[in-house]
Structures are given as structure tokens and as C-alpha cells.
Amino acid sequence: MSIVVTGATGALGSLVIEELLATVPAGRITALVRDADKAAGLAARGVVVKVADYDRPETLAAAFQAGDRVLLISGNAVGRRIPQHLAVIEAAREAGVAQFAYTGILGGPEADFELAAEHRATEDAVLAAGLPYTFLRNGWYHENYTVSVAAAVSNGAVVGSTAGGRIASAARADYAAAAAAVLTGDVADHLGRAYELSGDRAWSLDEYAAEVAAQSGTAVAHSDLPATAHLEVLKHNGLPEDFAGILVDVDAAIARGLLSRSNGDLARLIGRPTTPVAEAIAAALA
């Protein structure tokens, strides 16, 4: 039996692998990657590396074995994820895996915004396939904001269209730790479960801008815009219109409170409080 992680060299997958290596022998971990060269470091540490591509279903046939515990990390090709995920689901079903964990989005079927649609469809497909599932419904990552903290300091502004909505985000490493806990714990404790994963404390973009200002020593304000104006700003900054529209739609979901929920699932799984956004800001500024 192996613990199989897809997208194992990606931002989340690499963190999951590191969490697993802390408690699991490397030879029991399988990293599925598109480029074996990028996983050379993992192979050198004893992790089993297999080349598998969501867009090439034939590469998935040998990816799984009966009894494996699998983590499907959702693809990043928005708009193409349903056929990609279906290919993984079918390969896992044919192999007879013991657990199929999937990183969806906070709220599951109640998440009615555009970015969540492929996650909802994937969960439906997992259920239809009859896989022994665990749904990890991840909330927003701190890094979705802190990746652009330098720009916020330079421009003196954090821009959004959340209308004061709050975001119960957590660090990507927190979500990775939760995935590892689910993959290494007693499988019976996690099968048929849907975990709503989010940070312990929800914050607003006003509070985020104030924290960036305090830590950077630079005046940074939050500019809350109408959705149409926010879209134009994102396009002006170089984002494709379709993707910019998805981000504006997420802000509308935040305004409706869909990413503010916090039930403590994440902290319980990782056995500690979730990482405060202030720590993520400090790390990004450093």
C-alpha cells in the first residue's frame, strides 16, 4: 500500500510530501508528477516517482494499485479540470484504491461561485464512481493575497470588491498538514467525511491592509471597488479577462460570506491553531 499524491511538485503537493516524510517511510510514498526531472530530489530521498499527466489518461493506468491511499490535488487549469479529474477518478476506481481524498473548495455544494463549479462536479463524480472518499474542502489560502504584498506596499493599496466581507483563510502549509493527517490516520475515521477547512479567524481586506501597513511601515489602504471597476483594474494589471472575471466573482462570494465560515475542522485535523494571516504577511515581507 502506498500513499499517492498527485501534483506532487506543485505548491501544495510539495508541502504534503514534506509532511508525509516526517512520519512515513519514503518508499511508501508515491509522487505523481508530469516532469520526472522536477522530482529528482524526491527520488533521491527514496520517494517513488511516477510520471502521470491529467491530460494523458493512458499515463494514469499504472499510477495506482489496490489498497493505495490517494490524494487528488485539483488541477490548476481552470476550465479543463473536469475531464482531467475524471481521468484520475476512473484510474483510481479501476485500481481499487482504499481511500480517495480530493482537495475541493470550502462549502462544497453550497459554494455557488464560478471557481467552485469544477470542484462541485468533481465531488459528484467521485460519489458516482463509488470511491471510498474523503473531501478536503479547502478555504482560501493566505498566499492568494501575500503573493502580491510587495505590490500592495509599492502601490499603497489593496484592491478588491468584497464589500467588507470576511475571509477565513489559512496558510497553504496548514492545508498540507491536514491532508497528511487524513492520509496517515486510521482510514476508517476519515472515509465518507467532508471536512470544511478554513482558518480560525476570518478577516476583512480593511484589516489585511492595516496589517500590511503596520508591518511594512508604509501607508497601505484598502480600496473597495464596484465589481466592474475591479475587473478593469485586474485587466489593466495584465490578467486575462476570463480569469479576472473569476477573481471578481470570488470577491462577490466573499461579500456573501461564503469564504468566512470557520468550524474548526482544520485546527482539529492538524492538532494546533491555524497560522494567523499576520504571520504570512511577515513571511512575505521578509
Cell triple for 239: 490578467
pLDDT band per the 50, 70, 90 thresholds, residue 70: very high
Whether the pLDDT of residue 100 is over 90: the answer is yes
Q: Tell me if residue 264 falls in helix, strand or coil.
A: coil
Burial of 127 (0-12, 13-18, 19+ CB in 10 A): exposed
Cell triple for 65: 494499485
Angle at 96 (CA atoms; ends 94, 102), nearest 5 degrees: 90
Name the pTM for this structure. Answer: 0.96
Assign domain 3-140+172-197 to its CATH superfamily. Answer: NAD(P)-binding Rossmann-like Domain (3.40.50.720)
Q: Which tens digit of pLDDT belongs to each residue from 146-178?
A: 999 999 999 999 999 999 999 999 999 999 999
Query: Percent of the chain at pLDDT above 90?
Result: 94
Give the CA count within 13 Å in the CB-facing half-sphere of 227: 11
Q: What is the chain's length?
A: 286
CATH 3.90.25.10 fits 146-150+157-165+200-260+275-285, yes or no: yes
Q: Tell me if domain 3-140+172-197 and domain 146-150+157-165+200-260+275-285 are identical in fold.
A: no
Q: What are the boundaries of each domain within the chain?
A: 3-140+172-197, 146-150+157-165+200-260+275-285
> Using an 8 Å Cβ cutoff, are 71 and 104 in contact?
no
CA–CA separation, 14 and 271 (whole Å): 21
Closest C-alpha among 1, 6, 63 to residue 28: 1
